[in-house]
Structure 1
Amino acid sequence: MATTKPTIAITMGDPSGVGPEIIVKSLNDEKIYENCSPFVIGDLKILKRALEVTNINLELNSISNPEEGKYQAGTIDILDLNLVSEDLPWGQVSSEAGNAAFRYLEKAIGFANEQKIQGICTAPLNKEALHKAGHIYPGHTEILAELTGTKDFAMMLSAPGLRVIHVTTHIGLMDAINKINPERQYTVIKLAHDTLKKAGIQNPRIAVCGINPHAGENGLFGNGEEEEKIVPAIEKAQAEGIDVQGPLPADTLFFRAKRGDFDIVVAQYHDQGHGPIKVLGLEAGVNITVGLPTIRTSVDHGTAFDIAGKNIADELSLKEAIRMAIELAPDQLS
């Protein structure tokens, strides 16, 4: 059991997006400081601008390492990397902002590798801006995996009443089906089981989606993908005592999971898993990268350039992401 509050690094994400706004709105909540020691990695000038936009009055305390943080309600501790210009426009794709988003995350990972923090919570980045800056990654998850040297990882999404973990994510559907194999399937089932056990669920109930309609319906649909790519992994996990069922038809499985029949669903590809979570509400969804040496959570929405700088963005998803980081971080503490 943890005896101290976890230190959570909150990365600003793309500074042209809604990240700065939702960060200051979230850290305006005194309750967050009761359960963790949060600090922001980003640009001080952008955070000041976000305070002006949101009409929030908080002190900004510039730090150079996590040990210097005040971690007091009413103050935001900010590790200023000073990477973008003061007149960086809201809501526009730029290499300047894309590079900054990458560098914020890189800095957080450095602190995690040095065990100076117990979790990372990320505001959204923009993939086009990231690529313009020369950082060719599909998203946060792949950056985190490479910079931590992690081979086996997966994206988990959490919303009220539903958790989903993905076998494949940011690749085309045909490529996804080709990449699904029993080894990857088993890895994701095991990651789901181990992650939920760490979160306090002693015997997680796991359900695995089929690839084809009706999970193939005994060979009626598809070309035997379920039997070839999914069943061997389920049988291996079951032999180890893991409570896992499937492959099951995706069109009814998410309803059953939301009803409470299962603790987590294994989705085979991006839209199969993301759709049901986002129907439950973008504002309440949390993205969790599992398998990393540190906890990482994120909002389950994008940079929302169309509303950036307008004081419209809802901070609920970020507050949920911080809460989830706190919930999962204690195992990281000595």
Structure 2
Amino acid sequence: MTDPVVLALTAGEPAGIGPELCLQLALEIRTAGIVVVASQPLLEARARQMELPVVLHPWRPGKAPRMEAGHVSVLHVEGCASHQPGRLDPAGSGYVLRTLEIAGNGCLSGDFDGMVTAPVHKGVINEAGIPFSGHTEFLQELCGVRRVVMMLATEQLRVALVTTHLPLKDVSAAITPERLSQVTRILDADLKRFFGIGHPRILVAGLNPHAGEGGHLGREEIETIEPTLDKLRGEGISLTGPLPADTLFTPHWLDQADAVLAMYHDQGLPVLKFQGFGRAVNITLGLPIVRTSVDHGTALDLAGTGRADSGSLHRAIRVGEQMARCQKSSSQETRS
């Protein structure tokens, strides 16, 4: 029997639903070893408030995590300023970032096989005077990599993005041959490394309506996207496109693909979230570690009410476990 995968689970914003999602998860038997990286007093307070019968066990590296229902291992992090659900406190922002740093470094050192992140509140972190644009950029800097790729996935669909959180007016200039090449290579490599797909088939969306209509609706496809895709095909990457985005997301094309590469955030993600919101997973590709996340925010209005849906967290953990196992298997094959 193979050893269980050990995943770090950061509890996210203390005032949000992250802490209680971690506790709800602990009520069930798990196939992966989960270590919640959070303030133990915070988790204890939320468990009491919600009357959740969860026993918290301090964890240290090398110790097997508790996996039985009603028990969970916790790596305590100091500095949580408030245990009050629904009420943001900028004084706890440093604590939130320390949970990410501890989990990320634990993955780099081999203490964890991957990390799963509950949602943080970017606004309150910035209010504390700490520049922060998101998990993805934070982990990119922590791991010291040049480029990362955001990919969201449901059981039926994977969508990766060439550009992420940019104003629409800036997207065209950001789609350079260098950026498109880097993102595509990362997507191809990590579909192999983390998902065991031997020869990934990638559909690429055009930027403009009708993929530019032969230059009549924009020339980005002709001048940048098509030449770059041709070069990448010469490297052995299987690419179809650029295709009009309004017809790409149909069974005719999706049945022949392992992933879609969209040019910008709202080109690909509305389709995916319509198809599977609450069951989608946010995955960061291009890191040396496994990182998955939920597809929703902190939901301050639901914190402490017991009405938060843990479906996305369950899915993020299952996908993180699968990715970690696939990476381990790939590493073992490489060594042998």
Q: Percent identity?
A: 38
Instruction: Judge conservation of contact 1:257–1:264 (CA < 8 Å) in 2.
Output: no
| Residue of structure 2 aligned with 1:201, choices 197, 201, 224 | 197
TM-score (norm 1): 0.93
Deviations 1:39-73 (A, max 9, x none): 0001112212332344321210022x332344231
Aligned-partner residue type, residue 217 of structure 1: E
Deviation for aligned residue 1:108: 0.7
Distance in 1 (alpha carbons) for counterparts of 2:252 and 2:166: 25
Aligned to 1:176: 171
Q: Does 1:26 align with 2:25?
A: yes
Q: Does 1:210 align with 2:206?
A: yes
Deviations 1:117-150 (A, max 9, x none): 1101000011101212333222100000001101
SS in 2 for 1:278: helix
Deviation for aligned residue 1:157: 0.3
Distance in 2 (alpha carbons) for counterparts of 1:257 and 1:264: 14
Q: How does 1:292-307 map to 2 (within 5 A)?
A: 292-307=287-302
Instruction: Judge conservation of contact 1:182–1:228 (CA < 8 Å) in 2.
Output: no
Instruction: Judge conservation of contact 2:196–2:326 (CA < 8 Å) in 1.
Output: no
Aligned to 1:289: 284
Query: Which stretch shows the higher mean deviation, 224-233 or 290-299?
Result: 224-233
Q: How does 1:65-80 map to 2 (within 5 A)?
A: 65-73=60-68, 74-80=70-76
Runs of 4+ in 1 over 6 A off after TM superposition: none
Aligned to 2:40: 44
Aligned to 2:144: 149
Instruction: Judge conservation of contact 1:102–1:135 (CA < 8 Å) in 2.
Output: no
Aligned-partner residue type, residue 184 of structure 2: I
Instruction: Judge conservation of contact 2:35–2:65 (CA < 8 Å) in 1.
Output: no
| Residue of structure 1 aligned with 2:58, choices 57, 62, 74 | 62
Instruction: Judge conservation of contact 1:39–1:66 (CA < 8 Å) in 2.
Output: no
- Relative distance call for 1:257 and 1:328 in structure 2 (3 A) is farther
Aligned to 1:131: 126
Distance in 2 (alpha carbons) for counterparts of 1:202 and 1:283: 29
Deviation for aligned residue 1:314: 0.4
SS in 2 for 1:194: helix
SS in 2 for 1:66: coil
Distance in 2 (alpha carbons) for counterparts of 1:193 and 1:321: 21
Aligned to 1:324: 319
Instruction: Judge conservation of contact 1:60–1:77 (CA < 8 Å) in 2.
Output: yes
Deviation for aligned residue 1:332: 4.3
Aligned-partner residue type, residue 287 of structure 2: L
Instruction: Provide structure 2 residue ranges, at least 5 long, that are not aligned to the other structure.
Output: none
Distance in 1 (alpha carbons) for counterparts of 2:229 and 2:288: 25
Deviation for aligned residue 1:9: 0.2
Query: Which stretch shows the higher mean deviation, 115-124 or 226-235?
Result: 226-235
SS in 1 for 2:306: coil
SS in 2 for 1:161: coil
Aligned to 1:105: 100
Deviations 1:223-259 (A, max 9, x none): x111223112211121122111111111111224885
Aligned to 1:314: 309
Instruction: Judge conservation of contact 1:207–1:246 (CA < 8 Å) in 2.
Output: yes
Distance in 1 (alpha carbons) for counterparts of 2:252 and 2:73: 39
| Residue of structure 2 aligned with 1:251, choices 232, 235, 246 | 246
Instruction: Provide structure 1 residue ranges, at least 5 long, that are not aligned to the other structure.
Output: none
Aligned to 2:224: 229
Deviation for aligned residue 1:307: 1.1
Q: How does 1:153-168 map to 2 (within 5 A)?
A: 153-168=148-163
SS in 2 for 1:99: helix
TM-score (norm 2): 0.92
